[in-house]
Amino acid sequence: MGTDAQGADEAAAAARAVHGRLLEAAERQRFVHHVADLDSGATTTTELDRPVTPLSRLDRLSQLGHRFLGPIFGAPEYRLTPKAPYQATPEGWVEVSRPTYYAPAGNILWWEPPRDFDVRNVFFGLHFTFTSVPAGRRSVVSMTMAGSSFAGATGHLLLQAQLVPNTVTIPIGGAFGTHTVDFTFVTPQSSLTVVVALVAGIEQLTFSGAAFGAAPPVLEPAVFA
């Protein structure tokens, strides 16, 4: 067998192994919804027994202090996945750091970081770049991930947007679960980088996709005065 064919067979076998592990974990998974406001630093985490719904997502975002109306996105400007990590119009992309397994064709992105590492020196995670965003307007980033932490540990994700004042922490518990992460902030400029970093304690984590867009209309408190 030639080297190329052997390499293709090994890659296919690795993809099947990862997919099998995901299916096994999905049989016992839970569902978790995280919402965060990077301007204030406020976060909430809600454990669910079924996938999150659009209305409940909007309601939990509104509980952070902004009364959103309509669907979570009017029309997302960006959708990025392992299979489609680059978007031409408007231009945006996602860069992946230190994945254990990355197969864009199969839409699989998987980390298995060491139990202990210093996030200040070693980066596992994602950099999103959005080159054309509505400056000065409230926006929402939504990500879908799945994973769990080591027994006896609670790992975390750190979320940060360029020139936005707060870094927020999202917990990843010991039970394998699908994590929907919705975070909002006012975009400070017309181009933007968003960083998602894994913190020590996470045993395994997958990334399925992210969307970015202007938030739905907001009713400010003065409307009700």
**Is it the case that residue 181 has pLDDT exceeding 80?**
yes
Closest CA to 150 of 116, 102, 101: 116
Question: For 83-99, what is each residue's pLDDT tens digit?
Answer: 999 999 999 999 999 99
Instruction: Give the pLDDT of residue 97.
Output: 97
Question: For 99-128, what is each residue's pLDDT tens digit?
Answer: 999 888 888 899 999 999 999 899 999 999
Q: What does the domain layout of the chain look like in residue ranges?
A: 30-224
33-61 b/e (C-beta count within 10 Å ≥ 16 → b): bbbbbbbeeebeeeeeeeebeeeebbebb
- pTM score, two decimals? 0.83
Say how many residues make up the chain: 225
What is the spatial distance between Cα 158 and Cα 154, in angstroms, rounded to a whole number? 13
The DSSP bridge partners found for residue 42 are 37
Give the count of alpha carbons within 13 A of 197, CB side only: 18
Structural class in CATH, domain 30-224: mainly beta
